[in-house]
Copies of this chain bind each other. A is one copy, B any other.
Amino acid sequence: MTDDITPTADGAEVSPDEAAGRARLSRRGLLGLAIGGGVAGLALGGVGGYALGAARVGEHDAGTPYAFFGAHQAGITTPVQEHLHFAAFDMMPRSDRDDLIELLQDWTYASARMTQGLEVSATGAVGGPAEQPPDDTGEALGLPASHLTVTIGFGPTLFENEDGDRYGIRDRRPPLLQKLPPFLGDDLDPASSGGDLCIQVCADDPQVAVHAIRNLSRIAFGRAKLRWSQLGFGKTSRTTAQQQTPRNLFGFKDGTANILADDTAGLATHVWVASGDGADWMAGGSYLVARKIAMLIETWDRVQLGEQERIIGRDKGQGAPLSGGEEATAPDFSSAAIDTASHVRLAHAAQNDGVRILRRGFNYVDGNNTLGRLDAGLFFLSYQRSPEQFIALQRTLSTDLLNEYIRHVGSGLWAVPPGAAEGSYVGAPLFA
Residues of A participating in the B interface, judged by any CB pair closer than 8 Å: 3-5, 58-59, 61, 83, 85, 125-126, 128-134, 136-142, 191, 205-207, 210, 213-214, 217-218, 225-231, 233-234, 243-244, 246-252, 297-298, 301-306, 308-309, 315-318, 363, 365-368, 370, 372-374, 376
Contacts and interface: CB of A to CB of B under 8 A. Distances in A.
A6 B243 CA distance: 25
Given A298-B218, A366-B367, A374-B214, A125 B304 contact: no
Contacts of A225: 372
B368 A226 contact: yes
A85 to B, nearest CB: 8
Contacts of A305: 126, 128-134
A327 to B, nearest CB: 11
Contacts of A136: 251
Nearest to A138: B251
A88 to B, nearest CB: 10
Contact of A130 (B141, B250, B304, B370): B304
Q: Which 3 A-B pairs have the closest CB atoms?
A: A138-B251, A130-B306, A207-B234
Contacts of A205: 234
B306 A125 contact: no
Contacts of A301: 133-134, 137, 218
7 contacts: A61-B61, A131-B306, A134-B316, A139-B247, A206-B206, A214-B376, A231-B367
Contacts of A231: 365, 367
A234 B129 contact: no
A85 B372 CA distance: 15
A244 B58 contact: yes
A126 B306 CA distance: 10
A261 to B, nearest CB: 16
Given A138-B247, A141-B247, A301-B218, A226 B317 contact: no
A244 B59 contact: yes
Contacts of A248: 139
A108 B229 CA distance: 36
Nearest to A243: B59
